Amino acid sequence: MNLRIISFCLPIALFSIVSCNHKIRIEGSVIDTSSTHVVVVTDSGDTLHIETPGKNTTSTPEAVIGDHIAVTCSPLSNATDSQLHAEQLTVLTPAPSRLICGTWLEPIPGQRGQIQGFRLKEGGDAISINMATLPIQQWSIEGSKLTLKGQSIGNGITIDFEDDYEIQKIDADSLVIVSDNGRTWKLGRAE
């Protein structure tokens, strides 16, 4: 008996939301995007496909994988199920990929007043700063993993390297990364 009541009430509840055109606020992390949709895992663990206008606007800026967002949605007017349409999208916490480009520097240990680091450019190119024997040439990011590629030059030999770092912290001014072997870089953004 209870099963029938639940199954009878659920379609009415969905119909009520769609027909009354209530707005819904959703917070979660972006796991996939396209030009017309964003897929969000909500803070409660649900996965939702939300239609976006298909272009970057002030009310729905482009979201990227890894962004933590808030979306104000309404059900689609012609929806036959629980499809949602984004009316407002706000990036609450940007994905590391949004913040990573730029020049990152740290003091050289034991060399007062000297700095070292790297510049990460749009498109994946990189340049080492004050690290002549370790020229970093490329970078990539996946989730919270930063990969730096380049060459290690020393004692008459040159060896290609590819090092992975876990991003421990990133914001507008600081970057802390830790390599698989435990080396920690605490870098500040150069102006």
The domain that holds 25 is classified in CATH as 2.40.50.140
How many domains does the chain divide into? 2
pLDDT score recorded for residue 149: 97
Residue 90: give the domain boundaries. 19-94
Tell me, yes or no, whether 183 and 105 share the same domain.
yes
Integer angstrom CA distances of residue 50 from 3, 15, 22, 84, 121:
30, 18, 15, 5, 31
Residues 74 and 131 in one domain: no
The angle subtended at Cα 174 by Cα 171 and Cα 179, nearest 5°, is: 105
The pLDDT value given to residue 77: 62
pLDDT at 82: 58
Which residues of the chain fall below pLDDT 50? Answer: 1-20, 79-80
Angle at 152 between CA 150 and CA 157, to 5 degrees: 130
Q: Is residue 119 in some structural domain?
A: yes
Tell me: do 133 and 158 sit in the same domain: yes
Whether residues 84 and 162 share a domain: the answer is no
What's the pLDDT score for residue 29?
92
Which of 94, 128, 150 represents a domain boundary (last residue)?
A: 94
What is the tens place of the pLDDT at every residue in 101-135?
Answer: 999 999 998 999 999 999 999 889 999 999 999 99
Which one, of 33, 68, 67, lies nearest residue 50 by Cα?
A: 33
Q: Tell me, yes or no, whether 23 lies in a domain.
A: yes
